[in-house]
Amino acid sequence: FSCEWAKACFRFHEPYSDLAYALETEKGGTRAILMAVQAYIIKYLLFIRTTEYTHLERLCRVSHQEQGEALAAALADTLWAAGGGGRAVICLVTAAIYVVPSSNYKADNFTERIHLFEFTEKAAAQEFILGHINCFKDERSHGVILFLYSLLFSRTLER
């Protein structure tokens, strides 16, 4: 992955601002993934989240906690759809190494540390993501790459 991909994460604009619902994007290859997730975030904030606000106020009056909840719901929805509605696989980076470098594989100190967590219930996947939301939001977390790997494993390599 390029440096652009390695530093890409799911970062929101400031809470309670006019763009509190929006992900920040850079130019380049990760924008398409961020915009697909953005659509699910807006769906969650407008139609699923319960709040006393009406219409477009629902998008601007979003706290830091609600941003995380919206992102977790969006990622879980997307992974659940990729898994055909029966499973979701979530990839996180751990300290342990799961792939031993060989002549066919060049170590990047990231991919070989990915651990897979499989869920057969969408709500459980969403709770897990929410509990590990910083793995997708923090700078240097490789959040977009983790989500891309999660999509691939949820969909399965055969499909």
More confident residue, 33 or 55: 33
DSSP string computed for 30-93 = THHHHHHHHHHHHHIIIIIS--S--TTHHHHS--HHHHHHHHHHHHHHHHHHHTTTS-EEEEEE
Is the model's pLDDT at 36 over the cut of 90? yes
Taking only the tens place, the pLDDT of each residue in 119-151 is: 999 999 999 999 999 999 998 889 999 999 999
Number of domains observed in the structure of the chain: 1
Is the model's pLDDT at 107 over the cut of 80? no
* pTM higher than 0.95: no
Average pLDDT, the chain: 90
**Which structural domain range is residue 102 located in?**
3-155
